[in-house]
Chain A
Amino acid sequence: MALFQKLPRARVAVPGAVLVLILLFAAFGNFLTPYDFSTSSLLDRNLPPVFLGGEWDHPLGTDGLGRDYLERLVVGSRVSIGLALVGTIIGMILGTTLGLIAARGNRFVDGAITGLIDFQAAVPFMIIALSVLAVFGSSMTLFVFLLGFYGWETYARLARNSALSAHTLQFVEAARVIGVSPAVIDRRHILPTIANVIIVQATLNFPQTILLESGLSFLGLGIQPPMTSLGQLLGSGRDSLARAWWIAVIPGALIFFTTLSISLLGDVLRDKLDPTTRKD
């Protein structure tokens, strides 16, 4: 925790506060409104939000099916942030594990993993994801799986390279000499040494995963109705842009402020952990 106390205040406080507000909204926003996110009410379609003369019954109005928009935003934020979190964690575990295996593997294993890394880096992930969705059709399981795969190659490359140099450290050599098993060396000695790099990468990967999720959902290829996410809300608001701009703008702003605050916090963390990139 000592790390966090040393961080410059304003660079942390502002994006930190924004992020906390968004997380609170996603977690407890449903208490602001009594409605269910998927129950439609045909008599209350397209109601305006309060700031445009609407009623406090539906503070942000309703969508084209008469569903309370505030509640849909809460659920959408939960889904987007939750999926990105799960995706980032899966990618981090998968990539780091493969990187560690490559670093201590024989030439064949290392070659196979680096080959996969190179292939993944050779085609934009969006294209890979779209081709997989084209073959299998979109489903929630597949979607989580895709988000989990996103960015694995960056973790794997980082973990492999950092682990290769960590393997030459004396205490690691010592552990090897006294016969500690490779798996235990990885877990007890290598992983703590490379953890910083991996965590910084996760702060870069998390906003990217939100953008991938919302991008695919925006295109109608990710989260499928009646479930919703910020990207899906934004995509559905595109058609009613002329009549109800807030339906597209509010989820877009939520995505933007989430990714922006995490990127800014990640920057601070990176400067702290890696002095060579520090802005003076």
Chain B
Amino acid sequence: MMFQTAPMRILRILLTAWAAATFVFIVLRLSGDPVAALIPSDLPQELVDTYRQRLGLDRSLPVQYVNYLLSVVQGDFGYSFRNNEPALKLFLEQLPATLILAGVALVIAVVFGVTSGVIAALNRNTLIDRFFMTFSVFGFAMPNFFFGILLILLFTLNLRWLPSGGFDGWSSLIMPAATLGFAASGAYARMTRSALLEVLNQPYIEMARAKGLTPSRVLIVHAMRAITIPLVSLLGFSVGTMITGAVVTETVFAWPGVGRLLVVSVTERDLAVVQVVVVFSAVAMALSNTVIDIALGFLDPRIGTARRNS
């Protein structure tokens, strides 16, 4: 099965990257003159012309497109005019900070979300259930940037426990990760609650209880196993949430990651950098979807079989 589908999976990731790169190409051409958008406007005309020639923008559109795709494939996304460095290099420099932030946030979201989902399901239709479920709706409705600012007000300005931003030491990570994680935790809480409620009525759970297993054993060994599949599928959705959330959260906390790099580049219209971020966001999402597909196939062989036969 792996041998048959692996090339298809790689092809799908490449297709997504191609579509994202093409999107940037089209948008840039729609703006009229890409040179005007790519470099500062106060340069003398000769320099603009040289630049146009160097970028090959004096050629026909199809030639430009092919050249553009060829350079993207070689990892050449052009230079950031802001600090005259390869855009890809800038992106890669900021990437680890974002990966750390998103990784920790995801752990917070899953642990906090699943725990409150389990508590809510075990106490269904009680005040405790209501409390946790209302809390999960808060996660949906609360804007990242507002939650972040409330945290800064409380922990930096009032209690003076944590730094408001930047990156000095691990204490800087706490608030951004909590902000990003809280926003995503609501989905996990709801999913866990509904999946668990469905399972708890199943005959095999009755059976396990009837055998005299302790309630915690029934829950952890028998019931929780059933929620791994929706949990793993939800992880795939979280990648998009994390990318979007990182843009805002990193700006609030001045976290030196890709999100903040993107916002600064958009403000300064540094398109080479914007382009890298668009293409890699698409690749990250396609890649995570693929990994999740494979994981689901392992967790539940029926899913793999159904996909193969369709």
Partner of B243, one of A124, A137, A248: A124
**A130 contacts the other chain (CB 8 A):** yes
Query: What 12 additional pairs, Cβ within 8 angstroms, besides A123-B23, A135-B271?
Result: A119-B23, A124-B281, A135-B269, A214-B143, A215-B143, A215-B145, A219-B247, A219-B263, A220-B267, A241-B153, A249-B153, A256-B146
**B218 contacts the other chain (CB 8 A):** no
B145: chain A residues at CB < 8 Å are 214-215, 218, 231, 234-235, 252
State which size class the interface on A falls in. Answer: 35 or more
Partner of A234, one of B140, B149, B244, B270: B149
Q: A260-B137, A260-B141 are in contact. Are A127 and B278 (CB under 8 A)?
A: yes
A131: chain B residues at CB < 8 Å are 23-24, 27, 266, 274-275, 277-278
* A residues in contact (CB < 8 Å) with B: 119, 122-128, 130-137, 207, 211, 214-215, 218-221, 231, 234-235, 238, 241-242, 245, 248-249, 252-253, 255-256, 259-260, 263-264, 267, 280
The answer to whether A218 touches B150 (Cβ under 8 A) is no
**Closest CB-CB distance, A259 to chain B, in whole Å?**
4
**B152 contacts the other chain (CB 8 A):** yes
Q: A123-B282, A214-B143, A256-B142 are in contact. Are A130 and B149 (CB under 8 A)?
A: no
Interface residues of chain A: helix, strand, loop or mixed (majority): helix
The answer to whether A132 touches B27 (Cβ under 8 A) is yes
A255: chain B residues at CB < 8 Å are 143, 146
Partner of B31, one of A130, A135, A241: A135
* Shortest Cβ-Cβ A-B pairs, 4 listed: A252-B146, A260-B141, A259-B141, A134-B266
List the A residue with the shortest CB-CB distance to B149: A248
**Closest CB-CB distance, A111 to chain B, in whole Å?**
14
The answer to whether B37 touches A135 (Cβ under 8 A) is yes
State which residues 124-142 of B face A: CB under 8 Å: 125, 137-138, 140-142
Q: List 8 A-B contacts (CB under 8 A).
A: A122-B285, A221-B267, A231-B143, A231-B145, A241-B152, A259-B143, A260-B141, A264-B137
State which residues 221-274 of B face A: CB under 8 Å: 240, 243-244, 247-248, 251-252, 262-263, 265-267, 269-271, 274
**B20 contacts the other chain (CB 8 A):** yes
B146: chain A residues at CB < 8 Å are 234, 248, 252-253, 255-256
**B119 contacts the other chain (CB 8 A):** no
Count of B interface residues, CB-CB < 8 Å: 48
The answer to whether A219 touches B248 (Cβ under 8 A) is yes
Q: Considering the chains assembled together, what is the distance between the CA atoms of A245 and B158 in angstroms?
A: 11
**Closest CB-CB distance, A123 to chain B, in whole Å?**
5
B281: chain A residues at CB < 8 Å are 123-124, 127
**Closest CB-CB distance, B145 to chain A, in whole Å?**
5
The answer to whether B153 touches A245 (Cβ under 8 A) is yes
**B291 contacts the other chain (CB 8 A):** no
**B19 contacts the other chain (CB 8 A):** yes
Q: Considering the chains assembled together, what is the distance between the CA atoms of A116 and B303 in angstroms?
A: 26
Q: A263-B137, A264-B137 are in contact. Are A256 and B143 (CB under 8 A)?
A: yes
Partner of A130, one of B150, B157, B247: B247
**B199 contacts the other chain (CB 8 A):** no
Interface centre among A134, A215, A234 (most CB of B within 10 A): A134
The answer to whether B149 touches A252 (Cβ under 8 A) is yes
Q: Considering the chains assembled together, what is the distance between the CA atoms of A263 and B136 in angstroms?
A: 11
The answer to whether B243 touches A127 (Cβ under 8 A) is yes
**Closest CB-CB distance, B202 to chain A, in whole Å?**
16
